[in-house]
Amino acid sequence: MPLFIWTDALATGNSFMDDEHHLLVERVDAVLEAIAKGRASAALSSALNDLMDYTQEHFGHEEAQMLRINFADLEAHREDHASLLKQVDALKQELDAGHDISAMDLYNFLVRWVKNHIVNVDSQLAAALKEAPP
Ligand SMILES: [Fe+2]
Ligand SMILES: [Fe+2]
């Protein structure tokens, strides 16, 4: 049973972003499921690597769109992406070092990590893309 699933609250109205956010949510869920099964597992490490790789890819796609439309908040959005990647990298290092993180703390951290950015930051890019020429 998935621990974290897509909901309409995450919809930005932009189909490319929403499609990629679906895939991001799936990867967050894979991390949560792995930790629920045992935190020292190779599956957790691989799920975190997948999440980081896909996050990087997705951020790159958004940043390319921001450049294309000369998005006014490009720098702030890019900084938020860099900070999110740093946070998940720090989490991975803590887990790799064997630090104890409860499944509930990890759930709260990752769900907030995804939701806050999509709702507060990506939604603004989606609105700007709607106004921009294709
Ligand atoms: Fe973003
Ligand atoms: Fe995004």
Provide the residue-wise pLDDT of the chain in tens; the chain has 134 residues: 889 999 999 999 999 999 999 999 999 999 999 988 876 678 888 999 999 999 999 999 999 999 999 999 999 999 999 999 999 999 999 888 888 788 899 899 999 999 999 999 999 999 999 999 88
- Nearest Cα to Cα of residue 103 among 53, 5, 31, 49: 31
Residues around the ion ligand 1 (C-beta < 5 A) = 62, 122
Q: What does pTM read for this prediction?
A: 0.94
Domains for the chain: give ranges and CATH numbers: 13-131 (1.20.120.50)
89 Cα–ligand 2 center, Å:
17
41 Cα–ligand 1 center, Å:
30
Ligand that lies nearest to the alpha carbon of residue 23, given by its number in the listed order: 2
Ligand that lies nearest to the alpha carbon of residue 16, given by its number in the listed order: 2
Give Rg (Cα) of the chain: 15
- Whose structure tokens read 């921001």? 66
